[in-house]
Amino acid sequence: MTSSALVPSGLPGSLDRIAEVSRNTAETRVSVRVNLDGTGQAKLRTGIGFFDHMLDQTARHGLIDLDVDCAGDLHIDGHHTVEDVGITLGQALARAMGDKKGICRYAQAYVPLDEALSRVVVDISGRPGLHLHIPFSAGRIGDFDTQLTHEFFQGLVNHAGITLHIDNLKGVNAHHQCESVFKAFARALRAALERDPRSAGRIASTKGSL
């Protein structure tokens, strides 16, 4: 059984892009708060150290204030925790984005970390889509299963309604590969969500909606 609670980010037409979402299941209890126009502050409690480190990169380099609290069934493994945080963060992003008027919509970022180089391209499209190619050199980074990178981003795009193309172009150290991906995601998301003064009050689509 799943329950979700959404906290409005303000009155219709508000410039505040803030949202809170809670998601409770038999496997996890997750709460997420985001401020898309923050300064990169983060409070993270998922029980998976390296995952917290990646979420911190997302906040810091995306200039998103992010508060994530998750109590999951880590006695089994990290799968439900990472996936459900992705789902809940996606819901919070969708809520905080509001009607998407005036945003740039498209963006890309290349980020190196030592020998690793990753590229992320984002479209705030209203349609979930994920292409992810990360040839990880190791199956685990600390207590984090590298396969869960896909589960996190899949849950996020499904519920945020965004399209993501994620490619690790090179790298031999799994920590560097993953961190360059999350940093590139943060930078691309930040740029796509920026308000374009030349498009104020307009939707960046011929359809008139995203």
Q: How far is CA 98 from CA 12, 32, 139, 209, in A?
A: 9, 16, 37, 11
pLDDT tens-digit readout, 125-138: 999 999 999 999 99
Confidence (pLDDT) at 12: 41
Predicted confidence (pLDDT) at residue 5 exceeds the cutoff of 60? no
Backbone CA torsion sign across 135, 172, 158, 76: positive
Tell me if 104 sits within 8 A of 194, measured CB to CB: yes
Q: Under a CB-based contact definition with an 8 Å cutoff, are residues 55 and 81 in contact?
A: no
Query: The tokens 């209203």 sit on which residue?
Result: 126
Q: What pLDDT does residue 208 have? A: 66
- Does a structural domain hold residue 206? no
Gap between the Cα atoms of 175 and 141, Å rounded: 6
Provide the residue range defining the domain that includes 93.
3-199
| Chain mean position to CA 184 | 11
CATH of the domain at 106: 3.30.230.40
What's the CA angle centered on 123, arms 62 and 176, to 5 degrees?
45
Report whether pLDDT(10) > 70. Answer: no
Q: Which is more confident, 99 or 204?
A: 99
Q: Give me the number of domains the chain comprises.
A: 1
pLDDT of residue 109: 98
Domain annotation covers residue 167: yes
Contact 32, 24 (CB under 8 A): no
Lowest mean pLDDT among 2-16, 38-52, 63-77, 103-117: 2-16
Per the prediction, the chain carries an average pLDDT of 92
Instruction: Write down the pTM of the prediction.
Output: 0.91
Q: Within a domain: residue 127?
A: yes
d(CA 15, CA 136): 40
The answer to the question of residue 128 being in a domain is: yes
Give residue 13's pLDDT.
46
**Rounded-to-integer distance, Cα 195 and Cα 105, Å:** 9
- pLDDT classification of 204: cutoffs 50, 70, 90: low
Mean pLDDT of 174-196: 97
Q: What is Dmax (Cα atoms) for the chain?
A: 51
Within-domain flag for 209:
no
Asked if 53 and 42 count as a contact pair (C-beta separation under 8 A), the reply is: no
Tell whether 165 is covered by a domain.
yes
Tell me the pLDDT tens digit for each residue of 100-151: 999 999 999 999 999 999 999 999 999 999 999 999 999 999 999 999 999 9
What percent of the chain is modeled with pLDDT above 70?
90
